[in-house]
Amino acid sequence: MHLFSFHLSYYELGILLSVALLTGMAKTGVHGAGMLSVPLLAVVFGGQISSGVLLPMLILADVFGVWYYHRHASWQHLKILFPWAAVGIVLGTILGQYIDDSVFKVIMAGTIVVSVVIMIWLEQLSPDRLPKQKSFAIATGVAGGFTSMVGNLAGSVMSVYLLSVRLPKNAFIGTTAWFFLVVNWFKVPFHVVSWKTISWSTVLLDLLTLPIILLGAWLGILLVRQLSDTLYRWFIIGMTLIAAIAMLI
């Protein structure tokens, strides 16, 4: 099937639509679903190109996530994260040009696995022993920006930080929604000008997936409503682990 400048088989189109559904779910609280999107889309487009295809889909889903959860964001944490995420995005833009698909998979799988280990460790700590240093937030911002630029996989990094500060479920989702809306728009010029992975064809292709993104967002809201704060934290850890396994296969 020929769609704009892309020639996709029905199998590849099915993967694209599945990614749209997962992306919508991720932006309304099912965060591990978004990490599953990365290895799936890389099967169709390869590593760096897939990050450009995925970014407009993420932005479309970000708008819905912010619209629904915007009141719950923790701006005291976002103010620290934003400038350092910008630093990470610039580093990712420079270094990402030298990362081929095989190295991309290793970096992304390693990021997710390490994130899962840290998440489980944090869950065992009492609140008074959780890391509260500003340096931890700075490191998270840089790592989040870098992994977001290189592979749209900052979800696991952000989950580590926001789990460490024990944000309630809705505040967790609202904070990540605002973080990624701002960060993903900041990344667009780098994809267009430096990497040339976003074009009008990319945007038009992604616009076709908008109804599926909205369906995923609605399903994510329904699912998250059923979970308590504690169960939600473990749900994020479980989904992130599944994403790590998918990346390694």
163 within a domain of the structure (yes/no): yes
- The model's pTM is 0.88
Per the structure, how many domains does the chain have?
1
30 contact partners, CB below 8 Å, separation of at least 6: 22, 220, 223, 224, 239
In tens, the pLDDT along 96-111 reads 888 777 777 777 778 8
**Residue 1 within any structural domain of the chain:** no
CA dist 179 and 197 (Å) reads: 22
**Residue 199 to residue 176: CA distance in whole angstroms:** 26
Q: Does residue 214 belong to any structural domain of this protein? A: yes
pLDDT higher at 154 or 129: 154
Interval 22-40: pLDDT, tens: 999 989 988 778 877 877 8
pLDDT tens, position by position, 71-104: 889 999 999 999 999 999 999 999 888 877 777 7
Q: Are 177 and 70 in contact (CB under 8 A)?
A: yes
34-71 per-position pLDDT tens digit = 877 877 888 888 777 888 999 999 999 999 989 988 88
Looking at the DSSP bridge assignments, the partners of residue 2 are 7
Max Cα-Cα span within the chain: 57
Domain with 20 in it:
7-248
Q: Is the pLDDT of residue 19 over 90?
A: yes
- Contact of 150 with 92, CB cutoff 8 Å: yes
**Lowest pLDDT segment from 69-73, 189-193, 235-239:** 235-239
Q: Which residues contact 42 (CB under 8 A, 6 or more apart)?
A: 50, 101, 104, 105
Is the residue at 2 inside a domain?
Answer: no
Question: Does a structural domain hold residue 81?
Answer: yes
